[in-house]
Amino acid sequence: MSFILQGIGVSGGIAIGHAHLAAPAALEVIHYLVPKNQIKREIARLEMAFAVVRKEFESLQKSVADGHARAEFSAFLDLHLMILDDPMLSEAASSMITQTNCNAEWALTQQAQVLLAQFEEIEDAYLRERKADVMQVVERVLKAMMGHPGYLPIASKHTGDSILVAHDLSPADVMQYKQHQFVAFLTDLGSQTSHTAIVARSLNIPSIVALHHAHQLILEDDCLIVDGTQGIIIVNPDKYVLDEYRLRQGQLELEKKKLQRLRSVTAVTLDGTPVDLYANIELPEDIEQVKHSGATGIGLFRSEFLFMNRDDLPDEEEQFEAYRIVAVKMHKQPVVIRTFDLGADKNIRGSTQVAANPALGLRAIRLSLAEPKMFHAQLRAILRASKFGDVRILVPMLSNVAEIDQTLHLIEYAKQTLRDDKLHFDEHIKVGGMIEIPAAALSLDIFMRKLDFLSIGTNDLIQYTLAVDRIDDTVAHLYDPLHPAILWLVSHIIQSANRAQVPVSICGEMAGDMQFTRLLLGFGLQQFSMYPAQLLTVKNQVLKSHLPDILPLVQKIIKTDQPEKLAALLARLND
Ligand code: PEP
Ligand code: MG
């Protein structure tokens, strides 16, 4: 049966392929092939996880026997031990690894599905309810396995035309999928500027989030058309629709190829205003794409991704090497390294988010200042890399003068330790601040006095100004870059910085959205940083823009508070 689902397109383009379903929400795990010579190790990893959980249960049972826990807890533990010892789970998962070369997490969750299906058939309502216990036991084993990560996935059997359909993916999950050959990503949850969407976008494949029931409605191997621009999936399309989309896909490819001609063209408006178009990256490997995009610098290196998907923290040496490689490969073009913006939805493995409102909690610079040793290692690494190119430091989520002063003080201290160690660095390294909290936007003077440059993080600025959680799809309709308050704040920051002659850029998703290019040029912006795949489209728009023509319309837009009128004016501006 053919049907259509609508979500929020977060990365444009058309993909045609076959669905590959990730396991259901609570048991969502990554699937990859393990090389033959690692199979034994993979089975040992699974067995070790079972042993760890068994030990946990046994010690809990002992505490019941010692009278430290309530007696009914004992029956519950017996049941969990029974599930744990069920050969359907452990033995069948081991055989599956041997037979299909899959990773242990995948084998375990697949067997859990078989077991759950059997519970579903049971007539006794009480026993049927025990499905939740199976899930809990499996989750516990999965957690134990996370402490013993397996072979890093290098290839999936789903190559060529597989489309990943998941209920939800964390930014860390998507990072892992960077090494796979999926042609599109679909998730039930998510929103336009969630970090998951940002990473998906950087993969340069069509992605749609907020599809709500896609994971339930789509079956493994269903044929899918994914239109990332419109946010639409067509499931099991008929031949005519397939032909139509293949044609459109071909046209898009052609347009992309044409845009490639602009790669080495200087970005300048028709009236001669030069514009810097920089790239956002997550890892040094992204430089390939940056080169392809013709970016003239890195405007945002989200360094926190170096800290994710691993059990340890990258030390100074490892970070130095990552930053040095980027600096060298960019050949003296600017490389803006943002100090780690961990917390909220980007966490290091094993950290347990306990805050009720993590986006308002210990995140970004707040976490850095609370973890001075970790911050010091990063600052030294960035400073040492500054010897190899035009490296700059960018500090995320600053909200007050005390944070600026403390950060500058710690940078100075890191410099001093390097001098003591006789290690070289750029003594005049530029330090900038992200303006992503309304309080910072409204007290710009102090930021401009103390910092060398500003970078507007519109993703968070919108989230915090409109009080809309950027990762919650239930309020995604309220996340509005064209809200009059946002337009006022963004233009205020740009114009204030321009007046004070402090360089200012935008590195949030607004910078890469072509419908805002002229609006931002009209606000006076001359530095944009975005995901590389979008850069040539924005450059094309810059090349076709004439500032004196734009300004009157931009003035009108900023004074308009009627959404329909504003949309019409924006359409005229982009005509
Ligand atoms: C932003 O908030 O706009 C930004 C660029 O930072 P991030 O998306 O990583 O929070
Ligand atoms: Mg941000």
DSSP readout, 459-528?
A: HHHHHHHHT--TT-GGGGGG--TTSHHHHHHHHHHHHHHHHTT--EEE-SGGGG-GGGHHHHHHHT--EE
CA-angle at 509, arms to 507 and 510, nearest 5°:
90
Listed residue (553, 462, 459, 468) closest to 511, CA to CA: 459
| Structural domains in the chain (count) | 3
Half-sphere exposure of 564 (CA within 13 A, CB side): 0
Residues 84 and 170 in one domain: no
Residues 522 and 409 in one domain: yes
Q: Is residue 301 part of a domain?
A: yes
Residues 118 and 245 in one domain: no
Cβ proximity of 335 and 389 under 8 Å: yes
| Residue corresponding to tokens 């533990």 | 77
458 in contact with ligand 1, CB cutoff 6 A: yes
Residues 55 and 14 in one domain: no
110 in contact with ligand 1, CB cutoff 6 A: no
- Each residue's pLDDT expressed in tens, for the chain with a length of 575 residues: 899 999 999 999 999 999 988 765 456 677 778 888 889 999 999 999 999 888 888 877 776 676 655 555 677 778 888 888 888 888 999 999 999 998 898 899 888 888 888 877 777 776 666 777 788 788 888 878 876 544 434 334 445 899 999 887 777 667 767 666 789 999 988 888 887 788 788 888 899 999 998 988 898 889 999 999 999 999 999 999 999 999 999 999 999 999 999 999 999 999 999 999 999 999 999 999 999 999 999 999 999 999 987 778 999 999 999 999 999 999 999 999 999 999 988 878 666 556 788 899 999 999 999 999 999 999 999 999 999 999 999 999 999 999 999 999 999 999 999 999 999 999 999 999 999 999 999 999 999 999 999 999 999 999 999 999 998 888 989 999 999 999 999 999 999 999 999 999 999 999 999 999 999 999 999 999 999 999 999 999 999 999 999 999 999 999 998 999 999 999 999 99
Q: Domain with 134 in it: what CATH number?
A: 1.10.274.10
299 in contact with ligand 1, CB cutoff 6 A: no
Single out the catalytic residue among 20, 31, 158, 195: 195
Atom of ligand 1 nearest to the CA of 198: 8
What does the pLDDT read at residue 12? 92
Which conformational region is residue 498 in: left (phi greater than 0), alpha (psi within -120 to 50 degrees), or beta? alpha
What does the pLDDT read at residue 142? 86
338 in contact with ligand 1, CB cutoff 6 A: no
Question: Is 102 designated active site?
Answer: no
171 in contact with ligand 1, CB cutoff 6 A: no
What's the 379 CA to ligand 1 centre distance in angstroms?
20
Single out the catalytic residue among 31, 102, 483, 507: 507
| Calpha distance 489→468 (Å, rounded) | 16
560 in contact with ligand 1, CB cutoff 6 A: no
Q: Is residue 297 part of a domain?
A: yes
Residues 224 and 282 in one domain: no
**What does each C-alpha distance from 389 to 178, 248, 311 come to in angstroms?**
27, 42, 30
302 in contact with ligand 1, CB cutoff 6 A: yes
Most informative mutation of 175, 339, 340, 341 for ligand 1 (most atoms within 8 A of CB): 341
What does the pLDDT read at residue 56? 80
What's the 329 CA to ligand 2 centre distance in angstroms?
25
What's the 508 CA to ligand 1 centre distance in angstroms?
5
Residues 218 and 119 in one domain: no
- Amino acid letter for position 559: K
Q: Domain with 458 in it: what CATH number?
A: 3.20.20.60
Q: Is residue 266 part of a domain?
A: no
Residues 375 and 229 in one domain: no
DSSP letter at 386? G
What's the 439 CA to ligand 1 centre distance in angstroms?
16
Cβ proximity of 528 and 538 under 8 Å: yes
Listed residue (375, 449, 380, 369) closest to 406, CA to CA: 369
What's the 459 CA to ligand 1 centre distance in angstroms?
5
Report CA dihedral (85, 87, 88, 94) to the nearest 10 degrees.
110
What does the pLDDT read at residue 259? 95
| Residue corresponding to tokens 């993969």 | 203
What's the 461 CA to ligand 1 centre distance in angstroms?
8
280 in contact with ligand 1, CB cutoff 6 A: no
Q: How many CB atoms lie within 10 A of CB 454?
A: 27
Q: Domain with 253 in it: what CATH number?
A: 3.50.30.10
Query: Which of the listed residues 257, 284, 299 is the one where a domain comes to its end?
Result: 257
Residues 240 and 289 in one domain: no
What does the pLDDT read at residue 143? 78
Question: What range does the domain containing 131 cover?
Answer: 36-145
Q: Is residue 545 part of a domain?
A: no
Q: Is residue 95 part of a domain?
A: yes
What does the pLDDT read at residue 228? 95
Most informative mutation of 174, 193, 194 for ligand 1 (most atoms within 8 A of CB): 193
Question: Is 507 designated active site?
Answer: yes
Residues 373 and 515 in one domain: yes
- SS3 assignment, position 156: coil
Report CA dihedral (394, 395, 398, 403) to the nearest 10 degrees.
-130
Q: Is residue 551 part of a domain?
A: no
Q: Indicate whether this model's pTM tops 0.85.
A: no
Residues 319 and 399 in one domain: yes
**Nearest ligand for residue 303 CA:** 1
Residue 334, H or E segment: strand 334-338
Q: Which two tokens stand for residue 362?
A: 């210990």
Query: Which of the listed residues 226, 257, 288 is the one where a domain comes to its end?
Result: 257
282 in contact with ligand 1, CB cutoff 6 A: no
Residues 90 and 239 in one domain: no
What's the 453 CA to ligand 1 centre distance in angstroms?
16
Beta-bridged to residue 102, according to DSSP, are 33
Let me know how long the chain is.
575
| Residue corresponding to tokens 């976490």 | 367
What does the pLDDT read at residue 344? 85
| Calpha distance 505→311 (Å, rounded) | 34
Query: Which of the listed residues 114, 145, 176 is the one where a domain comes to its end?
Result: 145
Residues 111 and 208 in one domain: no
Q: How many CB atoms lie within 10 A of CB 340?
A: 27
Beta-bridged to residue 227, according to DSSP, are 14, 232
In this structure, which residue's CA is closest to atom 1 in ligand 1?
457
Most informative mutation of 193, 202, 366, 460 for ligand 1 (most atoms within 8 A of CB): 460
Q: Is residue 550 part of a domain?
A: no
Q: Is residue 557 part of a domain?
A: no
304 in contact with ligand 1, CB cutoff 6 A: no
Most informative mutation of 459, 486, 513 for ligand 1 (most atoms within 8 A of CB): 459
